[in-house]
Amino acid sequence: NLNFDMNTVLVLHTVDYIPHYGYVETEPKTKAGRRAISLPAFLIDMLKLHKDAVLEQQHKQGDKWENRDLVFPDLKGGYSNPSYLLRVFNKLLVKAGVSHMHFHDLRHSAATILLAMGVNMKVIQELLGHSDIAITLRLYAHLLPSMQQDAVEKWEEGFRGDETNKN
């Protein structure tokens, strides 16, 4: 559920593929999983271009289009096959010269980058949809000691004041 006016995506559902049954749309595992995520303007711009491409594909398909109002549908408007998505993802990794990784690793990478950028752990918890900050801390606390030196330097600067300039 993209809101281009508010630059947000609202996470209300998850989709699982069950072999020999098909796609099942459910609610997130926890209440925290239902969340609004603010998106940067550059990403909104990319999503708008993608939406135009999807609308073009919908026009080509005409009555064959399965209108599920998905952000990333298959070529006929339905759910994308997970195996296909993984093949495309792996091809992109090779093309970009990036070592093999699991698709879910992107989530971990995003959280790690945000933490390294100094984003508050509580905000990261909310973005990831973790029900308890303890989950987020358990997954990412190992990164915090490496950031201690930066914190010590900021602390030193904040309390030292202009005394260094007097010497």
- Dump pLDDT digits (tens) for 105-154: 998 888 988 888 888 889 999 898 888 999 888 888 776 666 677 778 88
Give the confidence band of 156 by pLDDT, cuts at 50, 70, 90: confident
Measured in whole angstroms, the distance separating CA 166 from the mean position of its chain's CA atoms is 48
Residue 161 has a pLDDT of 67
Query: Could you report the per-residue pLDDT of 71-86, keeping only the tens digit for each?
Result: 999 999 999 988 899 9
- In 69-90, which positions are buried (b, 16+ CB within 10 angstroms) versus exposed (e)? eeeebeeebebbeeeeeeeeee
pLDDT at 165 over 80: no
Residue 91 has a pLDDT of 96
For the chain, percent of residues with pLDDT exceeding 90: 46
